[in-house]
Structure 1
Amino acid sequence: MATASAPLGVGIIGAGNISDQYLTQLTSFPDVRVLAIGDLIEDRARDQAAKYGIARAGGIDTVLNDPDIEIVVNLTIPAVHVEVSEAIIAAGKHVWTEKPIGVNREESLGLLEKADAAGLRVGVAPDTVLGPGVQTAKRSIARGDIGRPLFAQTQFQWQGPELFHPNPAFLYAHGGGPLLDMGPYYVSTLVHVFGPVATVAALGLRGSETRRVQVGPLAGEEFPIEIPSTVSVLMQFEQGGQAQSLYSTDSPLLRHGVVEITGTEGTLVIPDPNTFGGAVTIIRPLTEAVTPPAPVVHKTVDVPQEGVLVGRGLGLLDMGRAIRAGRPHVATGRFGYHVLDTLLSIEDSVESGTFVPVQSTVDAVGSLPDGFDPLAVTL
């Protein structure tokens, strides 16, 4: 077993598309040792292990039964996130799970209760909100750079993941779609800024009933659309503030990464929440009258970005260091559950055509510790 002075022993379950992003980063962190990869398709796990120099690979039990693994990264499809995470908890290991934490409230709460009873932690993606982009923006708001935050606007629209994903059907099944797939990035960012969500309202539609795979061995195959592929959302936050969001995979026009927070003294433009960095800019109010047709010239202020730019796995690293230090980690299971509850409440609103209160809440969301350097040796 690892000691408090040794690097974190990490295992991965799920060797699909997103595993490359995690493995690229986790194998670069000095405080982490990736010890094993497991997948239902064992050859896929072995291929990834060979690619990244991981010692052990095979089925899921290869990871669960390894006594040196402290944290397991759950990269399975959303429909089995809770099932796999519960198996990890039962094996006595902490969980870092890809988003969402689950696809329904009851099972997801049950997972958190089992983790609490076992004295183990759950961390939930996205950890993009821990990158220098959103963290810099969050500090800017805390300093009062835009006064009191009033409202936000976010936007994600394009044709859909079938353009690049070799097996995209699960992204249009229950637990997927632009809302459950991309919504966690935007809702997580908004909760970091405004606090927990109180009420939502939404409209949804399906642009088509089926789609075709565009790439890979399944190219040309049709699959059904089980969820709304366009969702328009209004959100009210517990502590005040509002947000308006669009999530769509029905649009030939690509427009994504739009996150704008308007306060009493300016508008803060935040980087794409599906990335870890990017420019943070403040638009100041006009101070002189404008006479048409003279153009409006905004005064902009660039906010210097703070922190080390890395990628997926940052949240796991924070959780691991927090476990060793006995402090809270940022991307907690309770935070991930509130994001899921908000997204499911949006789905409920689409179905009912009414405003829907979000039943869960979450404490004030912390930030990474000052001077957090993922490339430093601390363990």
Structure 2
Amino acid sequence: MNLAIVGCGFVADYYLSTLSSHPELRVLGVTDRISERANLLSGIYGVTAYPALDDVLADKRVELVLNLTNPRSHYEVSRAALLAGKHVYSEKPLAMNMDQACELVQLAESARLHIASAPCSLLGETAQTVWKALRENAIGPVRVVYAEMDDGMVHRMKYHKWKSISGMEWPYKDEFEVGCTLEHAGYYLTWLAAWFGPADSVTSFASIQVPDKLPEETLDVASPDFTVACIAFRSGVVARLTCSILAPHDHSLRIVGDEGVLYTSDSWDYRSPVYSRRMVSIRRKSFLNPIRHSYRLPRTPYGRPRTKGAQKMDFARGPAELAAAVREQRSCRLSPRFSLHINELTLAIHYAREQGSTYRMTTTFDPIEPMPWSR
């Protein structure tokens, strides 16, 4: 499938550096509002630099648009691409409000186009291995899940020096304004929704603990830097998700069942080991076995992600899954309705301060199939 990238900022390298693992995806070109950035990536990766978005949309060879723009531009760019008859894979979130997100999904469905939203880590080896263990009833009926998405005190780190492999600076002002929940909650929300089905409600708490993250600059928008969400899934499972850019780095996951605990340490590593510890009974006492069981991660057709830095993820698996769905004439695992449900959950958590703590979900999605190589 022929694709073009719109948005050549920090995250673009994560996609361009992993697309080589997916030869079925052909990058025709890139574009950005700042032409120098598009020209730089064009030279590094040997692709065309389109002068503007309109030139991308006018190119009939382009079948898929990767929307890697600023989150506040996602709706505008995705809408234009859909109206031009292109499939869309968007960085998270799908849109900054639900009216816009619903419009995008309705546009895609009415035009029989695909629209999907990052993250795609659900398609990684770790998520698929945990899912297989759950299907095999490794820890019995699941009761509760603890998911952590803490990244440390980012405002005290040397974020001014963070650059991608092509030299693009980390957009710290935008990241602080958009907020860690909109940026990061999806990494676990996608896993949980795929495994346990649609959420029925979410009860959240959101707070801005450090309002002056940029002493020398003024943030145009104040977003929560700490959120806690308790999600009730229709299947009966309850999950607690914490997001912050304050607490020490912790991306761990624990799934508690009647017969034990299933866990992994890092949702940003596609090959993070998966373990379980089962309940044992000796005489009158029951406790978790101190000896853990390790699950073998499956081999995939893609090889190891070729990214550098903290994120050991193959960002191109999302676009590859969308392209496969088009080719095979089936639903995408990151379907429009699934992406919309994740968007609604994320917004409900992010805006807990404004709209109240308990939110009843209005969207749903059809069950998702695991990857063939994980079965």
| Separation of aligned partners in 2, 1:301 and 1:226 | 44
Q: Is 1:312 aligned to 2:304, yes or no? A: no
- Paired position in structure 1 for 2:354: 351
- Paired position in structure 1 for 2:89: 96
| Separation of aligned partners in 1, 2:282 and 2:121 | 38
Asked whether the 8 Å contact 2:278–2:289 carries over to 1, the reply is: no
What one-letter code is carried by the residue in structure 2 that aligns with 1:79?
R
Asked whether the 8 Å contact 1:154–1:245 carries over to 2, the reply is: yes
- 343-352 or 240-249, which deviates more: 343-352
- Paired position in structure 2 for 1:177: 179
Runs of 4+ in 1 over 4 A off after TM superposition: none
Asked whether the 8 Å contact 1:204–1:228 carries over to 2, the reply is: yes
The C-alpha deviation readout for 1:108-147, integer Å capped at 9, x for no partner, is 1001111112121101111111011101111111111121
- Paired position in structure 2 for 1:339: 342
| Separation of aligned partners in 1, 2:44 and 2:71 | 25
Write out aligned runs for 1:237-256 (5 A): 237-251=233-247, 254-256=248-250
| Separation of aligned partners in 1, 2:49 and 2:354 | 46
What one-letter code is carried by the residue in structure 2 that aligns with 1:137?
V
Pick closer, same or farther for the CA change 1:287–1:102 going to 2, 3 Å: same
User: What RMSD, in angstroms, separates the aligned Cα atoms of the two structures?
Assistant: 2.2
Asked whether the 8 Å contact 2:277–2:289 carries over to 1, the reply is: no
- Paired position in structure 2 for 1:129: 122
Q: Is 1:203 aligned to 2:205, yes or no? A: yes
| Separation of aligned partners in 1, 2:280 and 2:353 | 38
Write out aligned runs for 1:32-181 (5 A): 32-157=25-150, 158-160=152-154, 163-164=158-159, 166-173=170-177, 176-181=178-183
Q: Is 1:26 aligned to 2:16, yes or no? A: no
- Paired position in structure 2 for 1:260: 254
Q: Aligned to 1:269, which of 263, 282, 290?
A: 263
Q: Return 5+ residue gaps in structure 1 as ranges.
A: 1-7, 214-219, 373-379
Shift of 1:90: 1.5
| Separation of aligned partners in 2, 1:271 and 1:13 | 33
| Separation of aligned partners in 2, 1:352 and 1:91 | 35
Q: The residue matched to 2:251 in structure 1 has which SS?
A: strand
- 161-170 or 296-305, which deviates more: 161-170
- Paired position in structure 2 for 1:369: 372
- Paired position in structure 2 for 1:284: 278
Shift of 1:350: 3.4
Q: The residue matched to 1:154 in structure 2 has which SS?
A: strand
- Paired position in structure 2 for 1:235: 231
Pick closer, same or farther for the CA change 1:63–1:290 going to 2, 3 Å: farther
Q: The residue matched to 1:58 in structure 2 has which SS?
A: coil
What one-letter code is carried by the residue in structure 2 that aligns with 1:268?
L
The C-alpha deviation readout for 1:202-239, integer Å capped at 9, x for no partner, is 122211222128xxxxxx54435511211121111111
Q: Structure 2 length as normaliser, TM-score?
A: 0.88
What one-letter code is carried by the residue in structure 2 that aligns with 1:320?
A
| Separation of aligned partners in 2, 1:163 and 1:234 | 32
Shift of 1:290: 9.8
Pick closer, same or farther for the CA change 1:250–1:94 going to 2, 3 Å: same
Pick closer, same or farther for the CA change 1:60–1:155 going to 2, 3 Å: same
Identity %: 26
Q: Is 1:192 aligned to 2:186, yes or no? A: no
| Separation of aligned partners in 2, 1:340 and 1:250 | 23
Shift of 1:79: 0.9
What one-letter code is carried by the residue in structure 2 that aligns with 1:132?
E
Q: The residue matched to 2:277 in structure 1 has which SS?
A: strand
Asked whether the 8 Å contact 2:68–2:91 carries over to 1, the reply is: yes
| Separation of aligned partners in 2, 1:267 and 1:234 | 19
Q: The residue matched to 2:192 in structure 1 has which SS?
A: helix
Asked whether the 8 Å contact 2:38–2:49 carries over to 1, the reply is: no
- Paired position in structure 1 for 2:165: none
| Separation of aligned partners in 2, 1:225 and 1:361 | 30
| Separation of aligned partners in 1, 2:264 and 2:102 | 31
Shift of 1:81: 0.6
Q: The residue matched to 2:241 in structure 1 has which SS?
A: strand
Pick closer, same or farther for the CA change 1:63–1:180 going to 2, 3 Å: same
Q: Return 5+ residue gaps in structure 2 as ranges.
A: 163-169, 306-313
| Separation of aligned partners in 2, 1:146 and 1:34 | 43
Q: Is 1:324 aligned to 2:318, yes or no? A: no
Pick closer, same or farther for the CA change 1:143–1:39 going to 2, 3 Å: same
Pick closer, same or farther for the CA change 1:296–1:85 going to 2, 3 Å: closer
Q: The residue matched to 1:80 in structure 2 has which SS?
A: helix
Asked whether the 8 Å contact 2:277–2:288 carries over to 1, the reply is: no
Asked whether the 8 Å contact 2:72–2:95 carries over to 1, the reply is: yes
Shift of 1:296: 7.8
Total equivalences in the alignment: 352
- Paired position in structure 2 for 1:377: none
Q: The residue matched to 1:64 in structure 2 has which SS?
A: helix
Shift of 1:274: 2.7
| Separation of aligned partners in 2, 1:71 and 1:290 | 61
